[in-house]
Structure 1
Amino acid sequence: MFLLKEDVKVKLYIVVPCYNEEEVLPETSSRLQEKMQFLMQNQQISENSHVIFVDDGSKDKTWAMIEELHHRNSLFSGIKLSKNRGHQNALLAGLNFAAEHADAAVSMDADLQDDINAVDEMIKKYNEGCDIVYGVRSTRDKDTFFKKFTAETFYKVLRRLGGEIIYNHADYRLMSKRALKGLAEFKEVNLFLRGIVPMIGYKSDTVAYERGERFAGESKYPLKKMLSFAFEGITSLSIKPVRLIFDFGVAISGISVIVLLYFLAQYFMGNTVSGWTSLIMSIWLLGGFQLMAIGIIGEYIGKVYLETKARPRFINEVILNNDGESK
């Protein structure tokens, strides 16, 4: 007799990367504990399920609070990275740990702006056979016009450049053990998980939710960091920017030949061409474009340089789980 997938309670790990989150951790842990207990009582998940807080080299009391949560309640586990490695690497550290211990993992940010009640629907779709369930924002009405415009532009541009990305999806998703193992096969140092996960290719679906306001603390993604993250995503997933430079160069060369022929014709016809303003503007325009082109190409060369070194993406300093600590 075979058991259906929905008859087996999934061992779920919720992975929460943290960086200087001492202001939100008390409320976040309380809400997650309530949600996990609800799912256990309703037999949607196994009683061996856990919440994993990954401390990404925080400078405040975040790790001390994670240790306290772990010692007080076995529901909470913790991973401390040896130094700050960025949100994507911290998230990957938690997902890799979950791949070895859980049937499925849900990743979410510590501020819980992503509605945790969407986890119920994610588990339902997992039981229906989905390996990856993406949390997708149903609306951006609460965003400022600037943030809404730039976010939507980013998704559209990345798609046009060939990046396979889920519209209005960040890093709130459920992944099965099989999908987590597939993710571990991607070895690149330059991580952009929301672009890599769709490449895994297993059966997937989406769950719509409404994003709430941050209830405490400050956003860890100011404008400068958001722009840097967007550029990282584009250059990590697509080589089309380099091809666009080539296409633009070909177009400029063609226009230059036409202009040259025009000026030669004017010269032989005895017409005087002034053109100092247009000449100076052309020099500045082409000079700026060349510097931009060199910068973009340099970005790709830099990524290749980092990949060839094969440095570890992160190092776990401490792991807290039911078996105690490992260092």
Structure 2
Amino acid sequence: MKNPVLTIVVPCYNEEEVLPETIVQLSRFLNELMEEGLVAEKSKILFIDDGSSDDTWKIIYKKSLNEEVVRGLKLSRNVGHQNALLAGLFSAKNASDCVISIDADLQDDITVIREFILKYREGYEIVYGVRRKRESDTLFKRITAQGFYKLMKKMGVNLVYNHADFRLMSKRALEELIHFNEVNMFLRGIVPLIGFKSTSVYYDRKERLAGETKYPLKKMLAFSFEGITSFSVTPIRLVMVIGVLSFFISLLFGAYFFSLKIWGNTETGWTSLITSIWLIGGLQLIAIGLVGEYIGKIYKESKRRPKYIVEIDTFNLPMPRHLMNDGGNKNELHSTNFRNLSETN
């Protein structure tokens, strides 16, 4: 088997604090893989700037001028981690035999990439990086994360337990991934649907080198809810079940109070009435909100808007070096005839 061309895809959003060290470590490791004869000399690292407001793109671009293995992709605005990751995967697909995605904070162990490549050379088309344990997480994060995976499994969603977005995908797997056209992309659930030969490699996650996490509690909850509603109609069925139960319970209470009236033991009261009104009203609002969430997803899908738009691409179309000098002239950059790409749904 000839040495595969590997592209390491790294989504970045406001990562100026950690990015220089990330580039150094990944570049050094990729060169080691080349020297060992595990990957081809044409292998690259593709950093995707997801509309960062700091110097993330400036760092990526300057390194791409000096480092042969470093390339960059600048999106026109922030589109979120999943869409930024898709932009990198699809951009690297045609020039690569396999692609590995990893976060910029280097909490995922980059040495595991060697095992990824060995598994790929054995014939596996998808290799998942799976955490051995979650001892470094807070108790709250550990409970909520593990609860999320268990909940998704009970809803019939085939997730790889304790796997995030650290994975290897072959070119053939990526060509099939393109056929998933939905706007609400939840890659952890979609990739297992491809169904090609896959395996897992286990590793211990590290502490973040620098900067702050881009997934605080609010974003984690939103991401989890996005995954649940994108892959399962169980929540909406659960609301229907609650409604049916409430109906039968109300019949039982109605029969009970009717019997009290017959026996003359009723007392006029406000508490029971207002409690039932608030209970039923709350259930109705929850049901309407949940139905609205699914309708909103249908609305987004129907518009068929692009998931992302590429402003600058140094992976497929290298930029002239004279255009960037200490940050470069933004107007000159925008007036240059770069290729603007968009992946439609």
TM-score of the two chains, using structure 2 as the length reference: 0.91
1:57-206 aligned at under 5 Å gives the runs 57-206=51-200
Distance 2:251 2:267 in 1: 17
- Corresponding residue for residue 272 of structure 1: 266
1:241-260 aligned at under 5 Å gives the runs 241-260=235-254
- Corresponding residue for residue 282 of structure 1: 276
- The answer to whether the aligner puts 1:298 opposite 2:292 as a matched pair is yes
- Corresponding residue for residue 3 of structure 1: none
Q: Answer yes or no: is the 8 Å Cα contact 1:22–1:65 preserved in 2.
A: yes
- Corresponding residue for residue 21 of structure 1: 15
* Superposed displacement of residue 269, structure 1: 1.8
Distance 2:214 2:283 in 1: 32
- Corresponding residue for residue 310 of structure 1: 304
- Corresponding residue for residue 32 of structure 1: 26
Q: Answer yes or no: is the 8 Å Cα contact 1:24–1:111 preserved in 2.
A: yes
* Superposed displacement of residue 289, structure 1: 1.6
Q: Answer yes or no: is the 8 Å Cα contact 2:257–2:266 preserved in 1.
A: no
Distance 1:255 1:322 in 2: 63
* Superposed displacement of residue 277, structure 1: 2.2
Q: Answer yes or no: is the 8 Å Cα contact 2:91–2:316 preserved in 1.
A: no
Distance 1:123 1:231 in 2: 33
Distance 1:279 1:123 in 2: 66
C-alpha root-mean-square deviation of aligned residues, in Å? 1.1
Q: Please list the CA deviations of residues 9-62 of structure 1 after superposition, one character each: whole Å capped at 9, or x if unmatched.
A: 010000000001111111000000111011000000001000000000000111
The residue type paired with residue 53 of structure 1 is: F
Q: Please list the CA deviations of residues 223-282 of structure 1 after superposition, one character each: whole Å capped at 9, or x if unmatched.
A: 111111111111111111011111111111111111111111221122214453232222
Of 38, 42, 45, 1:44 maps to 38
Q: Answer yes or no: is the 8 Å Cα contact 2:4–2:98 preserved in 1.
A: yes
Distance 1:198 1:126 in 2: 16
Distance 2:174 2:66 in 1: 29
Give percent identity, aligned residues only.
Answer: 55
Q: Gapped runs of 5+ residues in structure 1?
A: 1-6
The residue type paired with residue 31 of structure 1 is: Q
What SS does structure 1 have at the residue aligned with 2:15? coil
The residue type paired with residue 255 of structure 1 is: I
What SS does structure 2 have at the residue aligned with 1:287? helix
Q: Answer yes or no: is the 8 Å Cα contact 1:74–1:322 preserved in 2.
A: no
* Superposed displacement of residue 196, structure 1: 0.8
Of 214, 234, 237, 1:240 maps to 234
| Structure 1 residues 323 and 74, CA gap change in structure 2 (3 angstroms) | farther
- The answer to whether the aligner puts 1:207 opposite 2:198 as a matched pair is no
Q: Answer yes or no: is the 8 Å Cα contact 2:102–2:108 preserved in 1.
A: yes
Number of residue pairs the alignment of both structures matches:
321
What SS does structure 2 have at the residue aligned with 1:282? helix
Distance 1:273 1:38 in 2: 83
Q: Answer yes or no: is the 8 Å Cα contact 1:33–1:75 preserved in 2.
A: yes
